[in-house]
């Protein structure tokens, strides 16, 4: 095997945000949750991880390329992922180039990987979920593993729990499973991304001075100390999961919004019931909730649902484009950018929502009227870092265009 | 009865702060709670209501004097309180002045009342608890009702639930009761104020831009929508009540602090689990909790307990004077006063704690070192309005010195 060919695979995998939350493990090592959870996959056009994995008989070592997000985290999970996928590897043949890797060769071959996010890694936008899912998916394709995405999700889960939900588009359920080895704790698709395609998602990335408790530490402390968590996991979430699946299948936005908001709030409630208490939301998060609640109440039917993960960022899911445009007007009224920030770098992603909202420049932001449902509405300049407009999106895909690969097809080193 | 004599009673009643919280009514009209609660009575020297009630055959009308806190609230509860106490009234005789009011006369007589707080009413410091308890207590003394303070507490409870706990000093339990008419839902003393007299209490009155949900509305919405409240009330609080009584009786500060903090956090957790969610604590409240938690952990045993009611103010209970002085140093480090504020109006109440902390003026505040248990500790100037240093205190008393009366002994009108 002194040949110098390189075989590569490049994959793109989305992030996801839970609408029924995962919080608490029943098995720390296998990452088995105390309850089912449901997420919506975010459009990879705006938020995704791209990962290239390459193999060559000339590679002497496992290498993680430069430009890699979460290099340390990747190094930790890679040996496990690699072992699991190698165990499922099959023969790979490139007849055109006369290359053949037989199943047993995978034991001896080294791989190179490189990965990057098209969004800021440190902003608390579930980058590890997309990253770990992408690594498992790319390795599986490279090694010609025949497992379907649900089976792969059970591997990704062991890198980071919520990563398992990034193996599908649309709405995804992570079934907690029952068996002790965790093999039935995996993700399944509830509906694909075309099923409910008028939803619009606006993420408010909130400025924060606080250092947050990591979700791994946080959920361990909640499991150990909260007297409310078990009641939530055993009595409340199972019913909500059924109701949420129903709401999604029926595109019943009122029920969807009610369940999403209530479950986000209850997740933060059990964080607060932890000793010492965990606060992920800050005053800005509270103000965003208040803005949405007041608007929803003034209209009479929910226009927007909100959900917050282990940080102060708000993920706002609007019923349709019209509601999203109105929401963006309200958000920009309350949270105008700092004077040194351009609108173009303040509202990212699908900028057509800005156009729908009739906002072309910062003057339009300045001139926004206060939302009529709130008296004496103050403005909180600078409390939001930026917004991202997106929508529900597809699951992992292979990128066949070699120009999108992050490693050189000749050397297997970062381009 | 065309005579012109005036008979008056002046009473002083403390506020209280719950260490096991009351949140949720099982009967809105009778104000019957979903669980027992336990409070500590605050020293009336620093926080109390003084109320004078007067009666005269010459009074043509029920009058509420000027300078009265919560005039509107008083007008609402007065008819009920008055009816209840009149039903329990006995003969009153002032032999010296040759005055006699027989039991049946009370039906026809009108009373004047005046009341004032020795602390800011709007600051969210349980002014209605002290005010209502004081009114019931003063009326009972005026009308020579023979009921003991527990029996009076069942009347005060129907003005504002937590008022019933202001009829005793020290630590007080409000027993939720069982019977339908609410007659067994009343307060009893756990221990008096001398039992655990080295505790020191520091209240941080937190600046807030937010308008808060009233506790009446808030608890109704929690009862109607929270899926966690019933579990808390039925499964968690009953055990905590037993543990808390034990901790208080044994002066076991570690258990006391653990239970106090956990129960405050759980109360705010069920508020967050309400639809729409209720936020009483803000970023400043969170920072105070973080300061206390980090310090307690760095020492290894709790030095200070924290508890928050339906607002952002922190009530901090220190194990002893030494811990209180250290706490005050830390609090003044994080939350120095605005530059236009004098120390004298920034730290109120028992100023000897300031002396113990070695702080004489604002220069000493400026020079405070950052608490060693926190790296890169920032300072949040102006986020606290002021501090009040106090301690556990006594229950209601009559003030016999006529100079302390709020009504004129000649006219029965405000002095």
DSSP A75-117: HHHHHHHHHHHHTT---EEETTTTEEE-GGGGGT-EEEEEEEE
Looking at the complex, report in whole angstroms how far the Cα of residue A282 sits from the nearest Cα belonging to chain B: 6
pLDDT of A153: 98
pLDDT of B415: 83
Asked whether this complex has an ipTM greater than 0.90, the answer is: yes
Among A229, A254, A276, which would you mutate to test the B interface (most chain B Cβ atoms within 10 Å of its Cβ)? A276
CATH 3.50.50.60 fits domain A7-192+400-404:
no
Residues on chain B touching A234 (C-beta within 8 angstroms) = none
pLDDT of A408: 93
Q: Which residues contact A341 (CB under 8 A, 6 or more apart)?
A: none
* Residue whose structure tokens are 């009739």: A358
Residue-range domain boundaries for chain A: 7-192+400-404, 200-390
Cα(B165)–Cα(B171) distance, rounded to whole angstroms? 9
Looking at the complex, report in whole angstroms how far the Cα of residue B280 sits from the nearest Cα belonging to chain A: 10
**Among positive and negative, which fits the CA dihedral B377, B383, B386, B390?**
negative
Beta-carbon separation of A282 and B277 below 8 A: no
Beta-carbon separation of A265 and B277 below 8 A: yes
Q: Which residues contact B4 (CB under 8 A, 6 or more apart)?
A: B56, B57, B58
Beta-carbon separation of A265 and B282 below 8 A: no
Q: Which residue of chain A comes nearest to B281, CA vs CA? A: A283
Cα(B125)–Cα(B107) distance, rounded to whole angstroms? 35
Residues on chain B touching A268 (C-beta within 8 angstroms) = 272
Instruction: Give the pLDDT band of residue B64 (cuts 50, 70, 90).
Output: confident
Q: How far is CA B9 from the centre of its chain?
A: 22
pLDDT of B1: 45
Q: Give Cα separations from B347 to B45, B215, B328, B370 (angstroms).
A: 15, 27, 9, 19
**Among positive and negative, which fits the CA dihedral B388, B391, B392, B394?**
negative
In this predicted structure, the answer to whether residue B80 has a pLDDT above a threshold of 80 is: yes
B90 within 8 A of B145, measured Cβ to Cβ: yes
Q: E strand or H helix at B52, and its extent?
A: strand B48-56
Residues on chain B touching A275 (C-beta within 8 angstroms) = 258, 261-262, 265
Beta-carbon separation of A269 and B269 below 8 A: yes
B7-192+399-404 — its CATH code? 3.30.230.10
Average pLDDT over residues B225-253: 98
Helices (H), B232-312: 237-249, 253-272, 283-299
**Local confidence pLDDT in tens for the 415 residues of chain A:** 457 899 999 999 999 999 999 999 999 999 999 999 999 999 999 999 999 999 999 998 877 765 555 666 777 888 899 999 999 999 999 999 999 999 999 999 999 999 988 887 766 777 789 999 999 999 999 999 999 999 999 999 999 999 999 999 999 999 999 999 999 999 999 999 999 999 999 999 997 766 678 999 999 999 999 999 999 999 999 999 999 999 999 999 999 999 999 999 999 999 999 999 999 999 999 999 999 999 999 999 999 999 999 999 999 999 999 999 999 999 999 999 999 999 999 999 999 999 999 999 999 999 999 999 987 789 999 999 999 999 999 999 999 999 999 999 999 988 8
Cα(B151)–Cα(B164) distance, rounded to whole angstroms? 9
> Tens digit of pLDDT for each residue in B21-37?
999 999 999 999 999 99
Average pLDDT over residues B218-242: 98
Q: Give Cα separations from B104 to B98, B108, B109, B136, B308 (angstroms).
A: 18, 8, 10, 19, 45
A307 within 8 A of A261, measured Cβ to Cβ: yes
Q: How far is CA B288 from the centre of its chain?
A: 20
Average pLDDT over residues B290-306: 97
Residues on chain A touching B268 (C-beta within 8 angstroms) = 272
pLDDT of B61: 80
> Tens digit of pLDDT for each residue in B146-182?
999 999 999 999 999 999 999 999 999 999 999 999 9
Beta-carbon separation of B286 and A286 below 8 A: no
More confident position, B288 or B124 = B288
CATH of A200-390, one of 3.30.70.890, 3.40.630.40, 3.90.1200.10, 1.10.10.10: 3.30.70.890
Residues on chain B touching A227 (C-beta within 8 angstroms) = 232, 235-236, 266
> Tens digit of pLDDT for each residue in B87-136?
999 999 999 999 999 999 999 999 999 998 888 776 677 778 999 999 99
Q: Chain A residues contacting B, CB < 8 Å?
A: 209-210, 227-228, 231-232, 235-236, 258, 261-262, 265-266, 268-270, 272-277, 279, 282-283, 286, 289, 293, 297, 378
In this predicted structure, the answer to whether residue B78 has a pLDDT above a threshold of 80 is: yes
Q: Which residues contact A104 (CB under 8 A, 6 or more apart)?
A: none
B109 within 8 A of B60, measured Cβ to Cβ: no
Average per-residue pLDDT in chain B?
94
In this predicted structure, the answer to whether residue B411 has a pLDDT above a threshold of 70 is: yes
Q: Which residue of chain A comes nearest to B213, CA vs CA? A: A290
Collapsing DSSP to helix, strand or coil, B285 comes out as helix
CA-wise closest residue to B49 among B160, B137, B170: B137
Q: Which two tokens stand for residue A50?
A: 């791209």
Residues on chain A touching B293 (C-beta within 8 angstroms) = 276-277
Looking at the complex, report in whole angstroms how far the Cα of residue A129 sits from the nearest Cα belonging to chain B: 27
Residues on chain B touching A378 (C-beta within 8 angstroms) = 209
- The two beta strands, A397-398 and B16-20, are unpaired
Q: Which two tokens stand for residue B333?
A: 């480090």
pLDDT of B73: 72
């Amino acid at each position: 095997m002194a040949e110098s060919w390189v075989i590569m695979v490049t994959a793109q995998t989305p992030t996801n945000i839970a609408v029924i939350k995962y919080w608490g493990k029943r098995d720390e090592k296998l990452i088995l949750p105390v309850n089912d959870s449901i997420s919506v996959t975010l459009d990879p056009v705006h938020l995704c991880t791209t990962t290239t994995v390459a193999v060559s008989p000339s590679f002497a070592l496992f290498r993680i390329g430069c430009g890699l997000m979460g290099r340390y985290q990747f190094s930790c999970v890679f040996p496990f992922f690699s072992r699991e996928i190698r165990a499922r590897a099959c023969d790979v043949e490139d007849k055109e180039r006369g290359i053949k890797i037989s199943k047993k060769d995978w034991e001896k071959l080294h791989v190179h990987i490189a990965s990057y996010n098209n969004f800021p890694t440190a902003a608390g936008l579930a980058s590890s979920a997309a990253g770990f899912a992408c690594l498992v998916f790319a390795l599986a394709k490279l090694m010609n593993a025949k497992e379907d995405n649900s089976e792969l999700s059970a591997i990704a889960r062991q890198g980071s729990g919520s990563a398992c939900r990034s193996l599908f588009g649309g709405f995804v359920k992570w079934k907690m499973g029952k068996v002790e080895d965790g093999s039935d704790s995996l993700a399944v698709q509830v509906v694909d991304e075309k099923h409910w395609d008028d939803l619009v998602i606006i993420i408010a990335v909130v400025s924060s001075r606080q250092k947050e408790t990591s979700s791994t530490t946080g959920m361990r402390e909640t499991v150990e100390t909260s007297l409310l968590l078990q009641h939530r996991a055993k009595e409340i979430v199972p019913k909500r999961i059924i109701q949420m699946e129903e709401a999604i299948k029926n595109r019943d936005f009122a029920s969807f919004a009610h369940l999403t908001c209530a479950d986000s709030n209850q997740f933060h409630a059990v964080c607060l019931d932890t000793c010492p208490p965990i606060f992920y939301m800050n005053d800005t998060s509270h103000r965003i909730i208040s803005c949405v609640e007041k608007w929803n109440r003034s209209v009479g039917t929910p226009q927007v649902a909100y959900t917050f993960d282990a940080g102060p960022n708000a993920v706002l899911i609007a019923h349709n484009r019209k509601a999203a445009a109105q929401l963006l007007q309200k958000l920009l009224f309350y949270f105008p950018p700092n004077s040194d920030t351009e609108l173009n770098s303040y509202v990212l992603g699908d900028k057509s929502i800005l156009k729908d909202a009739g906002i072309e420049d910062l003057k339009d932001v300045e001139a926004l009227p206060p939302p009529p449902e709130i008296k004496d509405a103050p403005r909180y300049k600078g409390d939001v870092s930026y917004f991202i407009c997106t929508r529900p999106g597809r699951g992992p895909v292979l990128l066949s265009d070699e120009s999108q690969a992050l490693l050189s097809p000749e050397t297997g080193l970062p381009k």
